[in-house]
Amino acid sequence: MGKGKILVTGGTGYIGSHTVVELCNAGYEPIIIDNLSNSNINVLEGIKTITGHPVTYENIDCKDYNSLERFLEKHSEIVAIAHFAASKSVGESVNNPLLYYRNNILSLINLLQLMAKFNIKNIVFSSSCTVYGQADVLPVTEQTPIKPASSPYGSTKQMCETILQDAAFANKDLNAILLRYFNPIGAHPSAEIGELPNGIPNNLLPYITQTAAGIRKELSVFGDDYNTPDGSCIRDYINVVDLAKAHVVALNRMVEGQNKKNIEIFNLGTGEGVSVLEIIRTFEKATGVKVPYKIAPRRAGDIEKVWADTSYANKELGWKAETSLEDTLLSAWNWQKKLAEKNLGN
Ligand code: UFG
């Protein structure tokens, strides 16, 4: 007997696809909906290779209430939703805010309305450490004050958190776990799935692996004059498989009725702050491949430093990030090499 069906929105995306694999490993039956706006259908092949069987998938846009409703009519007995489907580029959100408000807010509202209609009680939501902005005190705990968002993307994450809190207050049958991700990096150790950036990467890790592969000439390190030990920005880089496993734990918690409140929030990070220059050095050490880089001006909107206090997640969820930074960076590199073989690299 399986543990039940989990609807995974955005299940062909970066974090969604890794979570689908971990859900299969844990005995759940994930069913994926995705509009492929920022992912590739080939991801389903990678998932199948890892898990040994195909996963149900339908091309559905969560903004489309009617399609979503028809889909849920067909799939009864969904025990929970893992909601990943959202737009996630900070820069794009500044240039196209309405796209972000429409995609990220409307999708969540549609899901919540339909959860009530179809009596689906549990949802895990992908939030972000972006909600903290530049915190005054580090590391950040779940109680750290929320600062005004610095981008429309960040606003959507804050608004979605508020929507979930209000919905859970009004409907005590609804259980929601909000997971605030720090910086997810790396790929599945099999190199069958990983991050698939569209065009020139915005994020550090895909830019590093593409530079190491010779696709990009050099990496720009955005600023070396921050108030940090080596002058470059500090983040908390969390392995994507470790992150995916936290979703399984969160879903188990709600499905088994172990949650202490009907809305709970957890930081998902390693608890370690690592600078951009340290990431480059560790990548070179782990892979033996050089990453040419230059120091460039600061990037607008970047915060100086942030890392997580993960003690609440460690204690309450019994979850901890386990993979070393070296192994995570090596997995990202192996995935980059696999992409070249599959001809999917940029
Ligand atoms: N960086 C570089 N060069 C690059 C790319 C990034 O030096 O080419 C630096 C950035 O300045 C930053 C660090 O690498 O210091 C990490 O940058 P990312 O773009 O990889 O990640 P961010 O921390 O800016 O953003 C991530 C997610 C967002 C989320 C945010 C929360 O991509 O979705 O964390 O802080 F909102």
Minimum-distance ligand 1 atom for the alpha carbon of 207 = 8
Residue 118 near ligand 1, beta carbon < 6 Å: no
Please tell me the residue having the least CA distance from ligand 1 atom 3. Answer: 221
Assign a CATH topology to domain 5-345.
Answer: Rossmann fold (3.40.50)
> Tens digits of per-residue pLDDT, 161-188?
999 999 999 999 999 999 999 999 999 9
Cα 237 to ligand 1 centroid, rounded to whole Å? 10
CA–CA–CA angle 90, 141, 328 (5° rounding): 60
Count CB-CB contacts under 10 A for residue 19. Answer: 30
The pTM score is: 0.98
Residue 83 near ligand 1, beta carbon < 6 Å: no
C-alpha distances in angstroms, 107 versus 112, 158, 161, 236, 282? 9, 15, 13, 28, 38
Domain positions in the chain are 5-345
Active site residue 312: no
Cα 297 to ligand 1 centroid, rounded to whole Å? 14
Cα Rg for the chain, rounded, in angstroms? 19
List all residues 6 or more positions away from 119 whose beta carbon is below 8 Å from its beta carbon: none
List all residues 6 or more positions away from 288 whose beta carbon is below 8 Å from its beta carbon: none
> Tens digits of per-residue pLDDT, 218-273?
999 999 999 999 999 999 999 999 999 999 999 999 999 999 999 999 999 999 99
List all residues 6 or more positions away from 214 whose beta carbon is below 8 Å from its beta carbon: none
Minimum-distance ligand 1 atom for the alpha carbon of 279 = 14
- 340 against 253, higher pLDDT: 253
pLDDT band at 301 (very low <50, low <70, confident <90, very high): confident
Torsion of CA 190, 267, 269, 160, to 10 degrees: 60
Compute the distance between CA of residue 139 and CA of residue 94 in angstroms, rounded to an integer: 27
List all residues 6 or more positions away from 311 whose beta carbon is below 8 Å from its beta carbon: 141, 271
Compute the distance between CA of residue 13 and CA of residue 16 in angstroms, rounded to an integer: 5
pLDDT band at 344 (very low <50, low <70, confident <90, very high): low
Q: Which of 14, 100, 153, 226 is catalytic?
A: 153
Element (H, E) at 296: strand 293-296
Residue 128 near ligand 1, beta carbon < 6 Å: yes
> Tens digits of per-residue pLDDT, 59-70?
999 999 999 999
